[in-house]
Structure 1
Amino acid sequence: MERDELAAWLRLLETPQVGRESARKLLAAFGSPQAVIDASTRARQEVAGSGPAVALASPPDTLDALTAATTDWLAADTPEARTVITLGDALYPPALLETADPPLLLYAQGRAELLCQPSVAIVGSRNPTPQGLASARAFAAHLSRAGLVVVSGMALGVDGAAHQGALDGPSSTVAVVGTGLDRVYPRRHLELAHRIARAGLIVSEYALGTPPLPANFPLRNRIIAGLARGTLVVEAALQSGSLITARLAAESGRDVFAIPGSIHSPQSRGCHALIKQGAKLVDSAQDILEDLRFGDSAAPGAAAPPPAPADPLLQALGFDPVSLEALVARTGWSAAELNTRLLDFELDGQVARLPGQLFQRIAHG
């Protein structure tokens, strides 16, 4: 994109009082950002009202600096490709065009071709249980191996685990973020962001320099839902941004999947509410592949390995959080003996120690 064209896009999208709906109406009426700017204030007013029409009569004070920063960002010598993708570009994902509020411009760093590959979104709690983290990573890895790109929001918790699992497979991952791409939020995901940029893709509709404003994240959820054939919610409380993503997916005619959990866990209540509302209960990634009629990468006719004999302590644990006292009652073993065996399972990754002196068995795969 030439600098003048970039400047016209930034002027249209970053001028105060010109919202997404107004910008979309103006583009539909005049055909390009430059044509919008070249039109008379009266002509713009007939399309989008007086506020946007007058605001676009002069460029924002920050336009030159933003255009220069974006030009430098695009031209930087980095291992990952950087680009901006507008509605008319060949790289613009067709799935987003089918949604009610597609972003007019996307900033992209990494493998932009992933935007047009079949994908599934995986979202969930920022404070998941150990089982939730394991499930997110295992489902994502399975789906990536089967040929589906995994889309998520690079938040702490389930999002991060989903990206990590997807990077373990060949189809990789797309992270949709709520800041400018010159920032990484949360900072704890700095290394993960570098991995995604190298092997996957990071995208944002927000201009460089945009901080992590709270209002940005519910808006970016519509892009996560819009890119994907379906959205899987791993764990979510009743008041959760993940439920916003699920609702947006359903409104776009996409499938919504939810993993059930313990009836006692607050992090399962959002998933249970979705299932009551019609989301599809899944307990394996294969359920999603079959529902989407998407072929698995497993070799035809490959036999599953025989199940290993169950350990009596793991059977006593079940999959709900449980106290040491309850395990003493269930097994008849002493607390000292149980602590020794639980530590072995904890070191082996089969059991997690939770706050409140609780233990939980973790299922893998």
Structure 2
Amino acid sequence: MSLLEQAGLAALRRVEPERAHRLALLALRAGLAPAPGLLSSDRLRTRVAGLPLPNPVGLAAGFDKNAEALLGLSRAGFGFVEVGAATPRPQPGNPRPRLFRLAEDSGVINRFGFNNDGMEAIAARLARRPRDMVLGLNLGANKDSADRAADFATVLRHCAEHLDFATVNVSSPNTERLRDLQGRDALAALLGGVIEARDALPRRISVFLKIAPDLDGQGLRDVAEVALAARVDAIVATNTTLAREGLRSAAASQAGGLSGRPLFDRSTRVLAHLSGLTKGAVPLIGVGGIETAEHAFQKIRAGASAVQLYTALAYGGISLVRDIVEGLDKRLAAEGFASVEEAVGTGRDDWA
């Protein structure tokens, strides 16, 4: 990390968290953030859900909710980028404050509640996307929608022409009763509608499903069976957690979803369990608590074909992307793997 980035991060930590996040996005838009460009190698290049990735390290949804910093993100070293969540109509989300640093735990709690500019504004920005990036959109539902399941297909139809993939997000804990859509019958109906909308598009894009880390064993089995039956292209495991074990930070009691280092073990165990349930029939994307190349490697060993990060950027800066990508390349080489694919699932039993 450069001295300039260190100074910038130190300054941002003295600012209210949501305002600091906004300033970080503005820095990316202005070209003030590190921009290593394409990071790849023969070992790192991979294909997930039909998408050719220069490397398997992606940006998770939520960092750039409104697709405002696409150029900066496309130059930051990610193998793929997911923006959003987007809902049909703009909505302000939950009252502020709604983002809390847990510095002692290297974590964050948020209760944003799908605050975003709505699909029309976001689609206009997606239309100006850099063409040399792999780009996806996290699909959400309006809080006051009469038919939340239909909202996902609505956003997909409106934005699909600008996307490489779209993620159905039924796992955010910050929209009341949204996680109820992870139940077997509700999820089957929702995914059926989204896949039907996707299949009617003039160009096929990949559809992912993002799940919560708080599902019990039966809930996880139900999700796996429904996802396989619906033929989603990948499952993203996992979103934030409502659990609060072992936290030291003063903000630990705040309501919302917990992300960052405290989520790593929980989300990786869910990932490994899901890998066992799906038996390679659908690619998995590992998310939750990744701060280092070793974390990314362990997610891959647990069953992930690719990984995503977000919270660690608040503590390690955008240069962390390069550190993780290059470190993962070296870690794979040290273990004798000629490709990412060779390593997928090799340590599943260690985590399951």
Global fold match (TM > 0.5)? no
TM-score (norm 1): 0.31
TM-score (norm 2): 0.32
Greater RCO, CA 8 A, separation 6+: 2
